[in-house]
Amino acid sequence: MIVTVDGPSGTGKSTVSRAVAQQLGLPHLDTGAFYRAATLAVLEAGESPEDANTVTSIVEEADIDQVDGTIRLNGRDVTDAIRQDPVNRHVSAVSSHPEVRRLLVERQRRWVATHGGSAVVEGRDIGSVVFPTAPIKIYLDARPEIRASRRAAERDMHLDDVAEALRRRDHLDTSRAASPLLVPKDAVVVDTSEMKFRDVVDLVISLATRGA
């Protein structure tokens, strides 16, 4: 069984997909973390995230993996480093390059195959590109002001700064030419604005267990 969970940030996507995976006894794959680790590799190499050729060759060489819930870059635990500001600012540029996406999509599919073939997979293009034939596709959404306030609380940051960063990232993620963020055509859209975390998890599990 593959459950795809797509949507913008601040919708509860990560928390929900982790809880759903745990309850269904499935592995959970965070594909955003792959793009984040790729971005960290580019920044550590001192290269420009905009330069498609250089970025592609760095990603080709980089060993990016998710091991027991931690993210590894060439064997090093970068779980915390990929959530810091430099990566937040440049991850949209790195993930906009089609060749980078091709490489990472391949690795994401391989990860699921080597972890038993069933998983809860979260990201932006999972139901549309990575696993287009998945039987259960969820798209989590929430009003922009709700998403910003959740993110601000989570990271103890100023609301205006978070709202501005989210707007910028939403724009880049939805307007890029290669696999933009969109609602997969057969996905169930869940607006989490007024929902409790537990209710979102229960809803996704009931959709998953009755095959959406």
**Contact footprint for ligand DC (CB under 6 A):** 9, 31-32, 35-36, 91-92, 95, 123-126, 169, 173
Measured from the CB of residue 115, what is the shortest distance to ligand DC in angstroms?
17
Please identify, using beta-carbon distances, which residue of 32 and 49 lies nearer to ligand DC. Answer: 32
Please identify, using beta-carbon distances, which residue of 25 and 29 lies nearer to ligand DC. Answer: 29
Measured from the CB of residue 7, what is the shortest distance to ligand DC in angstroms?
9
By the 10 Å C-beta count (0-12 exposed, 13-18 middle, 19+ buried), 203 is classed as middle
Please identify, using beta-carbon distances, which residue of 26 and 37 lies nearer to ligand DC. Answer: 37
Q: CB-hemisphere CA count at 13 Å for 70?
A: 11
Measured from the CB of residue 34, what is the shortest distance to ligand DC in angstroms?
7
Please identify, using beta-carbon distances, which residue of 33 and 201 lies nearer to ligand DC. Answer: 33
Distances (CA, A) of 204 to 4, 19, 24: 10, 10, 11
By the 10 Å C-beta count (0-12 exposed, 13-18 middle, 19+ buried), 128 is classed as buried
Residue with tokens 């089609």: 98
Please identify, using beta-carbon distances, which residue of 118 and 180 lies nearer to ligand DC. Answer: 180
Spatial distance between the Cα atoms of 150 and 162, rounded to a whole number of angstroms: 10
Q: State the DSSP code for 7.
A: -
